[in-house]
Amino acid sequence: MKFSCDSQTLQKGIGIVEKAISSRTTVPVMENIFFDIRDHQLRLRGNDLEIGIETSIPIESLGQNGSFLIKGKTISSIVSKIYNQPLNISVNDSNKVIIKTDHVDFDIHGTSVEEYPAFPNIEEGTRLSFSSADLRGLIKNTIFSVSFDETKQFLNGVYIKNEQDYIYFVSTDGYRLSLRRMQIAKPDKDFAVIVPYKALNELYKILQQVDAETKVDVTISASQISFLMPNFVLVARLVQGQFPDYRQVIPSSSENVLTLSRRTFIDASERAYIIASSSNNVVRLSFSDAELTLKANSPTLGDFKETVEITRQKGSLHANIAFNVRLILEAIKNIETDLIQIEFNGELSPCIIRPLQDEDYTYIIMPIRTSDYHQST
């Protein structure tokens, strides 16, 4: 087996598939990237038995077709240190991988593909199509609320379901909940699945590198989900379990509705975080008719107070509500509109944050019950 290719092109392909290689695997063969030469195409695969990623790059084939394995970390390190040069790569009968440029020569021990598991086939199931931009937005607005509590695996991913001609992406860690919906063509069969965090997180990174209008074909079966683009496939095993009824958390109506500048709220919250970060991230928000005051206190650092302008759209409650400011920041940084809307019913009820006049995105954050919060003035 022998081929040549550009180092930058190979580095990009390796960077895509190595995201599916676990650094904590107990199966040594899974530390490898699968190389498959077919005429003038090189297929690269990474697999950790939970997700598999495949991509293809163009090459100049100089010998027979074939397959081999090479340690992902090793080949990634080598190619990343050879800057934009032609590479000549050959593999001999003992699986030694020889990588050459005009002035560089690596002889690396490869591995036979015999013990490497087969790449998962795309199963039959419900088929959907998205633009890269739309799918990227659905993931961006929800993935940050996923729980990493391994005792609650049903929260370790994003819940994806349809209701008639809408698709819903929902995630929660018990302290907050993110929901994004989008209108789609009504599928032939209803679905409700939990897609693991790692699969969507790696997919999101790939989607950031492709054109916004690139078509992404999605197939959902009983046990897996696949995402297909030109020269790219990601297949992931679904999380098994029952996702909680998220609708019970979302208030049916809001008695108090306020609007304010997203950028102003981010800046004030980041300043509050300087003090709050050493005191369990607690920030108290005090709502009046025309102002929102943010307060933070730390016994070791001191106090913080800032007032920003708001516009009250509905209600008259002057409320004092404590929140984890980190959870607020993660939400509003993933909103792209200039104005955001805050809704609440009382000081201990769930609070809704969403883009102004956008019913398709809902972020719920639970208040912190704190009776011993102290703010000096």
Cβ neighbors of 226 (< 8 A, separation 6 or more) are 122, 123, 218, 219, 233, 234, 235, 236
Q: What is the pLDDT of residues 249-291, one digit of tens each?
A: 999 999 999 999 999 999 999 999 999 999 999 999 999 999 9
Statement: residue 62 has pLDDT above 90: no
Asked if residue 76 lies in contact with residue 99, where contact means CB atoms within 8 angstroms, the answer is no
Statement: residue 375 has pLDDT above 60: no
As assigned by CATH, the class of the 126-247 domain is alpha beta
Name the fold adopted by 251-365: DNA Polymerase III; Chain A, domain 2 (3.10.150)
**Residues 153-171: what's their mean pLDDT?**
96
Span 2-109 CATH architecture? Roll (3.10)
Question: Which amino acid belongs to residue 138?
Answer: L
DSSP 8-state symbol, 30? G
Q: Using CA atoms, how far apart are residues 326 and 303, in angstroms rounded to an integer?
A: 17
Q: What is the pLDDT of residues 218-248, one digit of tens each?
A: 999 999 999 999 999 999 999 999 999 999 9
Q: Using CA atoms, how far apart are residues 307 and 39, in angstroms rounded to an integer?
A: 65
Q: Provide the pLDDT for residue 61.
A: 86
26-30, 107-111, 321-325: the lowest-pLDDT one: 26-30
Cα–Cα distance list, 297 to 266, 278, 279, 330, 373 (Å): 18, 9, 7, 21, 8
Cβ neighbors of 376 (< 8 A, separation 6 or more) are 297, 303
Statement: residue 78 has pLDDT above 50: yes
User: β-pairing, 311-314 with 256-261?
Assistant: antiparallel
As annotated, the residues of the chain forming the CATH 3.10.150.10 domain(s) are 2-109, 126-247, 251-365
Asked if residue 164 lies in contact with residue 182, where contact means CB atoms within 8 angstroms, the answer is no
Statement: residue 377 has pLDDT above 80: no
Q: How many CB atoms lie within 10 A of CB 322?
A: 20
Reported confidence tier of residue 123, pLDDT bands at 50, 70, 90:
confident
**Residues 92-116: what's their mean pLDDT?**
93
The model's pTM is 0.92
Cα end-to-end distance, the chain, whole Å? 75
Q: Provide the pLDDT for residue 371.
A: 59
Q: How many CB atoms lie within 10 A of CB 301?
A: 14
Q: Provide the pLDDT for residue 357.
A: 85
DSSP 8-state symbol, 132? H
Q: Pick from 327, 329, 338, 336: which is nearest to 361 by CA?
A: 336
Statement: residue 376 has pLDDT above 80: no
